[in-house]
Chain A
Amino acid sequence: MNRVNLRNLIVTCIVLLLTVSPLSAAVEIKLKDGSKWRGEIADVVELRYMQQGVEVPVQGKLLKVENLYVQVEATTAGKTGPKTIFKSDIVSMKTVGTGAAAPAGTATPSGSGPATANPATTPSVTPSSGAAPAQAAPASTIGVHVLPLEGGVGQEIRRDEFEKMLEYLDTNYGPGQIVVLLVDTNGGAVTETEAINKVTFEMKKRHRVVAWIHKAISAGCAIAAACNEVYFMTEGTAGSVTSWNPGTGKSATGEELERGIAQFARTLEAGGHYPGISAAMKTNPALLSYDKDPVTGDVTWHDTLEGEYDLSGPNDNLCFNSSNALHCGFSDGTADTGEELAKLLNLPKWHEASDYGRKIAKEWQQTWTEAQEELPLIQARLNYKNTGQGDPVIILGTRISLLKELIGWLDRMGPNTSQMFSVKREDLEREIAELRKQVADIKRAQRERN
């Protein structure tokens, strides 16, 4: 059971066990920021507390104060009853009335209304708004944060979005978030994969990171395997992690292959998978099969073909589909819609707590697409733009501007992806210097003529 649900269960149990104390007594509560609230049982208080990373306000009569929690009589979803809140979750607290005359409080989200999830296939998303926390979700709604990974690793997919996502969650939501990586990639750069996984491992220290696979080929599989859990779509595929050089068409061999196998095995192990999968996904001769206990479902792996179920023969590379991945336990489940995934994640419904991940992924995708279109055009324009003017100073000046434009694009790409382009910043800067010299020479010659 995940951490979030465990806490809900504890809360529910406590609510069931506790009885409301009618006594009035002076109490003191130490808040997160070190300040203290002082008042009495039966005071009407307004407090704000964190729930699933969301700051939720509640107002009502204070019923009980214990070592770890307080109880407030609050109305939630039209029902009035005791609401238990852990002291460690309380952000602020103030008295708004005293005595029994005050009405029962109402727990309301901080936004204009409760965030509701659409029951249909369209997932409900709470839009992110800068650094401010997203709209508060109703108590029954636990949200996920989706980060789409679509395109090439080291191109459309890079560590930067992972880092931004982690920072966003830590700043605005706190630990215990569910991050869904929506994986759809044919793979890409090994170096970027390693950098991404480093962030994933950091993310996993505080959050539950889930891969939801449409297609996770090669580097995509290495990213997915690092997650806490892996889910497939029906058509999902994951594997074929062989390292190779597209320029030569050669695969890694010898020590390089061994290093690659060991590295990926560590990633698999960290994701709770059998490390022997690594070799089968890296190189043909590695064998892999397994047995499955029909009663317990326990899987026993073999780096041979002695198991009942073969996954990789002597001439095969391993790439999972949803059914065999599920059968051998590499996958934790198959889901085609958000609602289906929510069930597998033990969530009451599919609710996206914020659209931040989708937003940053989309922004970067757009930048990348624009770059793909613009860079070749700029390079072509170097040959003809403003040549119709006939003035060499204008022509050279235009070229300098175009080269600066290229440098601007490289800066927008950032250090982690600009190496995917054939042009280098140093070369461009040198060319600009050369052109400036030419302009200066022409101008000098013109001055001398005059």
Chain B
Amino acid sequence: MNGIDRVIRVLTAPGVWIRSFWVHLLCRIWAVPVTETRLFQNKATFGHLQHMAPPTVGAAFAIGFVPALLNRLLALLLFLSSLLGLFLFRMTGWVALSANTLAFWFAFSLYVNTYPPAEHARRMQTMLRGQGTRAQKILLAPGTFCCAVGSFLERRGVTFLLACAGLAALVLWQGALFAAIARWLPNLEG
């Protein structure tokens, strides 16, 4: 883990830990032995759950891909209200402001900690290539590819930077976005 990755993971700790939670849950479902569960360590294994290799291609895919999916869905749910409340409508009032800020931090953390480590992604690819049936290869290849690319980008801080850039764009062009949505939405007068 390089320095940038480490700083990002500390800043977005909720996303790291929630991802580990999903991985652990899936490991228990597939009876994969978990060798290390200490998540709060100020070292290379910060927030990382160590487990043994999954027994089957399906399990390897699920453990690599399902947490990504769950993190993204949860991030979407949290972004829905927090982005609108914080950056589009800019709601005032302490309750809305604090709830939206916290929800935004969680959503952002989940968004930038989606994919498995690069080694896991490689393992998924190797297992799929070596042990996967033809149907598995067809069905699981896109997800495996996504995991590999996402992992590559995530570990180099690209996802984090892209998310920051998107946020900056939202803040800068808030007015234009608001006007565009108003124009694009169906007539709401009733």
**Do the two chains bind?**
no
A-side residues, CB < 8 A to B, are none
